[in-house]
């Protein structure tokens, strides 16, 4: 399956990135030769995505000015200027701008990866292939601690051999980190509230139903949460030549 629509979560305040984010939205902070959100858009376009919703709030005008230059995919803006909706509320609002009956990819604007191999399908293509809405609410990319840069060291989930995920508990086998990319059906959020809420509510609901699955990310995963994390991230990007 090729997934042709996506949402990028990009409305956060980026408080830990201050003072940079006092004047620049976090997704536009540059790592190497381009803003973080461009690594995300590159990954989506390379996986076959044609329509991308991006939510905006912090320095929204800068975000829109940057996104209007994207010509490879149709960009739709989910405007949160008046009210920041948190991860779940922002996703539920933005998904309304996509086809509810077609699968969608979801990515965070400040989490990305480098070092994929050219002789195999890319991470998002493999994620789309993994997603089976008949038995999954969501499929997510996951990565082992050893292949992360800038992460806080905490594991999020434990993954079985067939990819089923549960919340990580100390000593549990196959610990993994959520890599900030999902596949889902937009109608999953038909029952969502209109206000702000955290996406973890839907993760836990899917776990309880046995319908949260993961697949391994290939390459090196990066998260840039503070100014001090920029230099290590740039070193990793340079090591891999800036992309796949």
Q: What CATH code is carried by the domain that includes residue 207?
A: 3.90.550.10
Q: What is the pLDDT of residues 61-74, one digit of tens each?
A: 999 999 999 999 99
DSSP state of 118: T
36 inside domain: yes
244 inside domain: no
Residue 242 scores a pLDDT above 70 = no
Once rounded to an integer, what is the mean pLDDT over residues 88-114?
96
180 inside domain: yes
Q: What is the pLDDT of residues 135-171, one digit of tens each?
A: 999 999 999 999 998 888 899 999 999 999 999 998 8
- For the ranges 34-43, 68-77, 81-90, 234-243, which has the lowest average pLDDT? 234-243
**Short-list 185, 190, 212, CA closest to 1:** 185
- The model's confidence at residue 177, banded by pLDDT at 50, 70 and 90, is very high
Rounded distance between C-alpha atoms, residue 133 and residue 197, angstroms: 23
What is the predicted pLDDT for the residue at 152? 82
State how many domains the chain has.
Answer: 1
What is the predicted pLDDT for the residue at 127? 97
Domain that holds residue 120: 5-239
């Amino acid at each position: 399956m090729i997934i042709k629509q996506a949402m990028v979560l990009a409305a956060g305040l980026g408080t830990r990135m201050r003072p940079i984010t006092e004047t620049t939205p976090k997704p536009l902070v540059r790592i190497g030769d381009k803003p973080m959100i461009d690594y995300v858009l590159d990954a989506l376009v390379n996986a076959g995505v044609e329509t991308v919703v991006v939510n905006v709030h912090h320095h929204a005008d800068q975000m829109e000015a940057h996104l209007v230059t994207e010509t490879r995919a149709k960009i739709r803006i989910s405007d949160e200027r008046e009210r920041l909706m948190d991860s779940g509320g922002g996703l539920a609002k933005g998904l309304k701008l996509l086809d509810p009956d077609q699968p969608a990819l979801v990515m965070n604007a400040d989490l990305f990866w480098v070092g994929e191999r050219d002789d195999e399908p890319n991470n998002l293509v493999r994620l789309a292939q993994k997603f089976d809405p008949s038995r999954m609410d969501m499929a997510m990319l996951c990565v082992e601690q050893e292949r992360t840069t800038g992460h806080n060291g905490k594991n999020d989930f434990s993954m079985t051999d067939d990819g089923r995920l549960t919340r990580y508990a100390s000593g549990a086998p196959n610990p993994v980190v959520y890599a900030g990319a999902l596949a889902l059906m937009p109608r999953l959020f038909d029952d969502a509230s209109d206000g702000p809420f955290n996406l973890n509510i839907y993760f836990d609901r899917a776990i309880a139903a046995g319908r949260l699955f993961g697949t391994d990310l290939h390459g090196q995963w990066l998260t840039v949460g503070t100014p001090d994390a920029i230099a290590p991230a740039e070193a990793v990007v340079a090591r891999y030549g800036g992309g796949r």
